[in-house]
A and B are shown apart, each in its own frame.
Chain A
Amino acid sequence: MKKLGKKLYIGLIFLFLYLPILTLVIMSFNNSERTTGIWRGFTLRWFREVFNSQQIMEAAANTLLIALASAVIATAVGVVAAVGILALSRRQRILILQMTNIPMVNAEIVTAISLMLAFAMFGISLGLGTVLFSHICFCLPYVILNVLPKLRQTGSVAYEAARDLGAGSVKAFFSVVLPDIMPGVTTGFLMSFTMSVDDFVITFFTRGAGVNTLSTLIYSQQKIGIRSSLCALSTLIFMLVLIILLVRLFLSGRSANNKQIKGGIGG
């Protein structure tokens, strides 16, 4: 009885979590112009429509471009920042870490509006560039947060050993430190990428007229009414995020496995 209750409870939670997405996926294959909830047969029409719409393709290109660029830049800047933070004294380090964490806990809408205001104040016209800059801003703390523990674990020992053996500081970092903190760096990169793809609020306030990413495009379209092609598009985005999630899972699983093997033999 107790066991059955447990299963029911978990089943209910999963239902709540995945029913909406399942609905979305089913609707994107439904042969009906509007999302009425009545099944009128299977079709791939909406996916074709998605790939044929220049508007959607443009937004998709923007989304990917911004996600890729902001993830790359945020990762590079974040790794450098983490190295710097580690070199600080304890008190300075805590102070800086708290400061970089504030944007993470800050309400997104506040971050969005303050960014928009700042761009306006400095006379920067809104466009792809401002969106990119904003995305780098909110991704940065996540990169630092992912890299710092790895970096602390690696410590300065390997770096100093490389310097001792004749490597300059740059060479020592790339040949010895970076390979060691790579898991943290990839996690930071993938997290930045997904968050950038996901983002709506900040993009919406910093994008300027005419520039659309997928999320802002869907938002502006749903005012007219949810077309089935939007379902298909959302399904595709969901798939993309799912794939990234699986990659992340696979990577972390592999590094955990590695550790186990090493520990088993070494210890």
Chain B
Amino acid sequence: MANILELVNISKSFDNELILDELNLEIRENTFMTLLGPSGCGKTTTLRIIGGFTRQDSGQVLFQGKDITELPPNKRQFNTVFQKYALFPHMNVGENIAYGLKISGKSKSYIDSKIEYALKLVNMDGYRNRAVSALSGGQQQRIAIARAIVNEPKVLLLDEPLGALDLKLRQELQYELIRLKNELGITFIYVTHDQEEALTMSDTVVVMNQGYIQQMGSPENIYNEPENAFVATFIGDSNIIDSLMLRDRLVQICGTAFPCVDEGFGINRPVDVVIRPEDVILDEPGRGQLDGVVTHLVFQGVHYEMEVMAGGFEWLVQSTQIQPVGKEVSLRVDPENIQIMSKPASEDEEAMVIDA
């Protein structure tokens, strides 16, 4: 598959503060790509540069191999779904959807059929003559999506489109977006700071922090093999432990040697270890690899979340089995669930990775 979009060495500052620093990103045709990162990390800025609303200080935006830096937003074959819906309040639902089609000079019958088609697509049949102000937030966002897709953009840009909605509606629309993406066969670039949303919806997740790309990969890849401590903490809860790589396939965690599956980190090298809380198995004292005491217990619906003090580290553990506070337990971790990450080489690099 070819790259439909490419960002090449994009830098952008606001008020002398560097927001994006030499960002490079390749976006394949027909993928659902998500930009994920904490608030203020430059996601919206990246999206606005792609859409043509913000001009980068340096670098290029390539669309199908051609530099489109000089093209204004109305000349780019992208459409955007904005965070705050941005529907036109003095137009009704149908007029909102027709806006782009009228500008491109489509015939009345074409526009009519497109409006009906789009309303059906977003499950809003029969709302054509409603006033925009008479719609709920979720309905407004559906109309905003319909208004964007009737123009048949090559790329659909979505900036936290579900951010203002409640959980149930958000999940409902998440599935609808995935369905839309599959039906329309266009490229989606989706911005969110919600890691669950990113993992559910995307083909490719790009984790950003402070204007740098931390890791890019499939949701499974990002979740199971975080490349650094930032990604590991940002994507779900995890135990990140200062450890020592004794040799290939053996790592010393909290003073105890644990077999693992990673190789090539050298001998006696300091590393970071990531262990997901659901991968820590609790057993009777003495039966596991490391003994400890339960210090906290919270019921979280699907499972219990516990903290276990063991080897001088407070381990986060999730299990469906309850272990009361004060109980002595033993921890065990399967080798393939231990994820080794190299320590950042320099302090500078550490700042760019860890600072949140």
* Partner-B contacts on A (CB < 8 A): 157-158, 160-169, 171-172, 175-176, 179-180, 261-262, 265-266
- Given A157-B84, A160-B53, A180-B89, A165-B103 contact (CB < 8 Å): yes
- Chain A residues within an 8 Å CB radius of B82: 157, 160-161
Some 27 contacts from A to B, beta carbons below 8 A apart, are A157-B82, A157-B84, A158-B86, A158-B88, A158-B89, A160-B82, A160-B86, A161-B80, A163-B53, A163-B72, A163-B74, A164-B51, A164-B73, A164-B79, A164-B148, A165-B79, A165-B148, A165-B151, A166-B103, A166-B151, A167-B74, A175-B99, A176-B88, A261-B133, A266-B133, A266-B135, A266-B136
- Of residues 65 through 111 on chain B, the ones whose CB sits less than 8 Å from some CB of chain A are 72-74, 78-80, 82, 84, 86-90, 99-100, 103-104
Shortest Cβ distance from A89 into B: residue = B15
Beyond A158-B88, A165-B103, A166-B74, whether A265 also contacts B134 by CB under 8 A is: yes
Residues from chain A with a CB closer than 8 A to the CB of B276 are: none
Indicate whether B142 reaches chain A with its CB closer than 8 angstroms: no
Q: Do the beta carbons of B74 and A266 come within 8 Å of each other?
A: no
Closest partner residue, chain B, to A178 (CB atom): B90
Instruction: Tell me the bound Cα distance from A168 to B88 in angstroms.
Output: 16
Complex interface: chain B residues within 8 A of A262 (CB):
89, 131, 133-134
Report whether A161 and B104 are in contact in the complex, using a CB–CB cutoff of 8 Å.
no
In this complex, the member of B51, B88, B135 whose beta carbon has the largest number of chain A beta carbons within 10 angstroms is: B88
Complex interface: chain B residues within 8 A of A157 (CB)? 82, 84, 86
> Shortest CB–CB separation between residue B17 and chain A, in angstroms?
14
Q: Is A161 within 8 A of B74, CB to CB? A: no
Task: State whether the Cβ of B147 lies closer than 8 Å to any Cβ in chain A.
Answer: yes
Q: B48 CB to closest chain A CB, in angstroms?
A: 9
Please determine whether B103 and A171 come into contact, CB atoms closer than 8 angstroms. yes
Asked whether, in the complex, the Cβ of A161 is within 8 Å of the Cβ of B134, the reply is: no
Within 8 A of A (CB), among B128-175: 131, 133-136, 147-148, 151
Cβ-closest chain A residue relative to B134 = A265
Among B90, B99, B100, B133, the residue within 8 A (CB) of A180 is: B90
Smallest Cβ-Cβ distance to A259: which chain B residue: B133
Give complex CA distance A172, B88 in Å. Answer: 11
How many whole Å from A159's CB to the nearest CB in chain B?
9
Residue contact B90 to A179, C-beta cutoff 8 Å: yes
Q: How many residues of chain B have a CB within 8 Å of chain A?
A: 27
Q: Which residues of B contact A163 (CB under 8 A)?
A: 53, 72-74
Instruction: Tell whether, in the assembled complex, residue A168 and residue B134 are in contact, meaning their CB atoms are under 8 Å apart.
Output: no
User: Which 8 pairs across A and B sit closest by C-beta, in order of nearness?
Assistant: A165-B100, A262-B133, A161-B86, A166-B103, A163-B73, A157-B86, A179-B90, A265-B134
Residues of A within 8 A of B78 (CB): 164
Contacts of B134 on A, CB cut-off 8 Å? 262, 265-266
Query: Across the interface, which residues of A come within 8 angstroms of B87, CB to CB?
Result: 161
Q: Which residues of B contact A180 (CB under 8 A)?
A: 89-90
Q: How far is the CB of A246 from chain B (nearest CB, A)?
A: 25
**Distance A265 CA – B88 CA, assembled complex (angstroms):** 17
Contacts of B86 in A (CB 8 A): 157-158, 160-161
Chain A residue nearest to B79 in the complex (CB): A164
Closest chain B residue, CB of each to CB of A164:
B80
Task: State whether A161 and B133 are in contact (beta carbons under 8 Å apart), knowing that A166-B100, A167-B74 are contacts in the complex.
Answer: no
With the chains together, A171 CA to B105 CA distance in Å?
A: 14
List chain A residues, Cβ under 8 A from B51: 164
**A175 to chain B: which residues have CB within 8 Å?**
99
Nearest chain B CB to A165's CB is how many angstroms away? 4
Taking CB atoms, residues of chain A closer than 8 Å to B151 are 165-166
Q: How far apart sit A179 and B91, CA to CA, in the bound complex (Å)?
A: 10
Most A C-beta atoms less than 10 A away, residue of B53, B73, B100: B73
B93 to chain A, nearest CB (A): 13
With most chain B CB atoms within 10 A of its CB, the pick from A161, A176, A180 is A161
Residues of A close to B90: CB separation below 8 A: 179-180
Q: Which residues of the partner chain B approach A166 to less than 8 Å between Cβ atoms? A: 74, 100, 103-104, 151
Which residues of the partner chain A approach B131 to less than 8 Å between Cβ atoms? 262
In the complex, which residues of chain A have a beta carbon less than 8 angstroms from the beta carbon of B147? 165
